[in-house]
Structure 1
């Protein structure tokens, strides 16, 4: 049974690329269109890793991370931010919110797999 990953991004093309890349590496991927939907899905299923965008409608990535970290089931689950935001200030906010790591779009599929393997095996 592969590890399960929740991919949260308002861009359908990014969600498709992430799903295609990670499913190809043997992971199970569930998609959510924004932080609000991602939070709901995280409350109803257990994921080994959350991959979230930062800039999304309804609930952004940092708000999602803070909400997830408030849930006992997600206190120690790795959360990676996959975003176009590359600034140090934004990365610091991500770390403060509880992000495990930061990947900048456009992402290299091989690098994404390497980072995911490093974080959850």
Structure 2
């Protein structure tokens, strides 16, 4: 099944992993851009950033990558429920070995009372 192919990381494990300064971690927000701007996990990059795809080819394939969407990953006709899983699979297909999806997505991060950053994207 769709969910079984994707490895999950818990909110607590992600927080611990974020504190390991000697191990690079790329956190990717796979939600819509407006949702990212309204609030995201500190240090996260918007997966729709065009520079990200260009830079990804130069990342270490053993680098830790955590992708998250709005909530739980599940196979469904609704694209919004699949965004994180689809993005994780894309990075796995590019050869990255340590790709995880945040269990419960941004919703779980926020409900656990963790810090949320807001973007001040320039309009123009």
Q: Which interval holds the TM-score relative to the shorter structure?
A: 0.3 to 0.5
When normalised by structure 2's length, the TM-score is 0.41
When normalised by structure 1's length, the TM-score is 0.42
Q: In terms of Rg, which structure is larger?
A: 2
Bigger proportion of residues as helix: 1
